[in-house]
Structure 1
Amino acid sequence: MKVVTVVYSPLSVGDTASSVVARYVDINGNTIHPDNVYDGQIGDDYKTKKENIKGFELVKVEGSESGKFAEDVKVVTYVYKEVGKVTVKFVDEKGNIIKKDIVYTGGLEERYDIKYPNIKGYEYVKTVGGQSGVYSRDDQEIIFVYKKAKNVDSINKNNNNTNSSETGSGRDVSNRNTPPSGSVKTSDENNLYLYLFFAVISAGGVMYTIKKSKEA
């Protein structure tokens, strides 16, 4: 007779599969995106993620987005609200883009009031579309139109420079008729030169007379 021995070992953590379900609903509990199901072994780590759903904005998360798989199936619920979108564009009078678009979002029927910003080098001209209104399911657009600003400060500066050059402003003209330093001799200097000249002549005459006397 042959004896067969079967040995059993207790289940350890990690030997049993489990799941985590991520649900995506609106504020009324309606499903707006298919569930995501994450499978793993009990004790292993899990991490769920939100979904970017067009026309909706995440409001809150119910349940733990990350943790460990357990014997019971866990449910994580992502709650969204429906939103509207308003895109703001900034162009010049020819339709050229002068600033990056800005996108505003808000809950349906919520009010918005968007003011045009100051853009360096441009002047505001007009608005195409409603600056105030309510968010709706339909995308809305506002266009702020600008034109090149007149550089008044630069014009005034140029005018001032022109006037200065015409009137001589900014240049020292008070000594215009004064010769450069050292180019004119004073009367004392002239007298000194004359004295030295006659002294040399006199000395030469004396030396000549002495020489003639010796020769005689």
Structure 2
Amino acid sequence: SGLAVGGWNLAGFTATALTGTHKLTDITGTSAFAVSALASLGLLASKRGLKASLSPRPIMLSVCVTAWAARLGGYLFDRIRKSHEDPRLKYMFRKEGEPMLTGPSAFPLKLLNFWSIQALWAWTSMLPVTMAIAAAGDPKKVMRTAPRSISSLALGIGFVGFSTGFLVETLADSQKSQFKNDVTNPRRDKWCDQGLWSISRYPNYLGEMTVW
């Protein structure tokens, strides 16, 4: 899982450094979560057999993570496609005539550091998921085996929590986009205060925390 996340982000960094594009950062960062889940699922299948990888826990976790990554990655990619520039990366690319390493941007060191942190974020965030997927193959080795009734209840509660957070995050992002992109809205350059944003300062983050 760690190698998959690292390799995926390294490929994204290389493409970004070579092309100077701002469009790959977020979609690579979010899709790394799906890559990690699928890599863990594949590793489980190779070690414990296809039956273990198709049990409810690893399948549900992989589907949930992939759905979250696809939704958020698509949203962020569409946003950067319209804005063309990521403020976080603006000062990490060298300007014309600027030397590598020693220039103000320290290109590509600052950019590499940014991508390294992004890879570390994905790997550490996914640790509980990868451990839970691994436990499906050999529960006694990773954690104590819970009774089937408790295990099913935990999966159900987890899925309800994920679905609730996913819905809140999706709705919040949609409402903010509509608020910002409405050319008839005289306040579109201000803070969004409609829908979920009228009752929570960061409903998108609330949804994301609920997901995880």
TM-score when normalising by structure 2: 0.18
TM-score when normalising by structure 1: 0.18
Greater share of helix: 2
Greater share of strand: 1
Relative contact order: is structure 1 or structure 2 higher (C-alpha 8 Å, sep ≥ 6)?
2
